[in-house]
Amino acid sequence: MTLDLDSLSALVERPDDEARARLKARLPQQTGAAGALGRLEDVAVWLAGVQGGETVRAIARPRVVVFAGDHGVAAREVSVHPYGHTAEAVRDAAAGGGAVGLLAEQFGAGVRVVDMAVDADAATLPDAVAKHRVREAGGSIDRQDALTPAEAEQAFRTGMEIADAEIDGGADLLLLGDIGVGNTTVAAVLVGALTGTDAAAAIGRGSGIDDATWIRKCAAIRDALRRARPVLGDPLRLLAVSGGADFAAMSGFLLQAAIRRTPVVLDGVASAAAGLVVQRVAYRTPDWWLAGHVTPEPSHAKALDRMALEPLLDYKLRYGEGTGALLALPIVQAAARLAAELPVTEPVADEPKPADEAPAADELPAAAPDISLEK
């Protein structure tokens, strides 16, 4: 059965405005002055809205979900990473290694890695990782579609199912990451098409490319944008033509998390590009997301601006794997903890003096001057 995106869009509600208003009124009583916690207050108020309820709750079970996939456009030599890098990074992350594994352990988050289109023998990856695979690598989007329409829908549904599984498993904050050679090229195409940005203005240095590689990447994005523009009115078709299985899965994941009223911290340009696609499906969805950081990729800043998301961090990070979202996690946890547990401080009232206590000499009123006019 074909996905009815309009019906799904209608399921996305606004965060709890009353909960936001309650916390805004309460925070000055907790901190002693409005704005005392700076941007932590913005994060806390966002949490109040997405959590709902009478008070903000501390983050108990954050979960990182990393979607992985290879992209045929990588054959145009648009990345410094060699063939096989994605599969190697997926194996490391699934085993608790890589930057995502190290930071997740540091900050107390669980990790789930999902192979959507890794160009490697599925038998070389853990079964739990490879079982959702749609295909081995996407088509080269400058010349052919990334996916068939059926594959795009399958990947989108998979993302929705994984969001459900994580939320049903108790996750109260989701962090979205990605692994894949060529994914900044795909992201630049999606963002460029959805924001009306041309190729040269949409791309940066990605994995750390040199000038010659940048020129090749720019040409590939230019050609891919020509193919993307005619299908902008159909988000699933756009993901099939110009995205990939990992981008389709991230899109489904983000939409279902919003439907399930579960907050998500976005990572890099790939998750932001997926978010931009989902915003076309349901305009309220960005209310449920927080931008963990902004990368040096120009298309990342453009996507966040279009979704009205202000990144928490700007460390010029371009590593991927959810590392930027993880670095933002302790900030979100701190905001939640302070809002949840700082006591309300009552203002100190002046103590009344006993009725029979004479006022001190320096408290007596000055004698009125003699202003009599009698001679």
Mean pLDDT of the chain: 91
Q: What is the residue whose two structure tokens read 């108790």?
A: 170
Q: At what angle do helices 17-31 and 39-51 cross, to 10 degrees?
A: 140
238-to-219, 253, 363 alpha-carbon distances in Å: 19, 17, 79
Fold classification of 61-328 is: Rossmann fold (3.40.50)
Is it the case that residue 371 has pLDDT exceeding 60?
no
For residue 355, pLDDT beyond 80: no
What pLDDT does residue 1 have? 61
- Bridge partners (DSSP) of residue 28 are none
Answer yes or no: are the C-beta atoms of 216 and 195 closer than 8 Å.
no
Average pLDDT estimate for 80-95? 90
Are 257 and 163 spatial neighbours (Cβ–Cβ below 8 Å)?
yes
Q: What would the mean pLDDT of 232-253 be, rounded to a whole number?
A: 98
pLDDT-derived band of residue 29, with 50, 70 and 90 as boundaries? very high
pLDDT for residue 374: 44
Where exactly are the structural domains of the chain? 61-328
Nearest partner of 277 among 224, 239, 230, judged by Cα? 239
- Enter the pTM of the model: 0.90
pLDDT of residue 206: 63
Give the model confidence (pLDDT) of 96-126 as tens digits. 999 999 999 999 999 999 999 999 999 999 9
Question: Percent of the chain having pLDDT more than 70?
Answer: 91
Q: H or E element: which one contains 174?
A: strand 173-179
pLDDT the model gives residue 82? 73
Residue 154 has pLDDT above 90, yes or no: yes
Q: Give, for 177, the enclosing helix (H) or strand (E).
A: strand 173-179
Q: How many beta carbons lie within 10 A of that of residue 167, not counting itself? A: 18
Say which residues have a Cβ less than 8 Å from residue 183's Cβ, sequence separation at least 6. Answer: 69, 71, 244, 246, 247, 270, 320
156-160, 207-211, 227-231: least confident range: 207-211
At residue 373 the predicted structure's pLDDT band, cuts being 50, 70 and 90, is very low
What whole-number distance in Å separates Cα of residue 28 and Cα of residue 35?
7
Report residue 358 as tokens: 């004479």
- Angle 311-312-316 from CA coordinates, rounded to 5°: 75
Query: What 3-state DSSP class applies to 101?
Result: helix
User: What are the backbone angles phi and psi of residue 268, rounded to the nearest 5°?
Assistant: -95, -160
Q: Which residue has the higher pLDDT, 337 or 208?
A: 337
Active site residues per annotation: 321
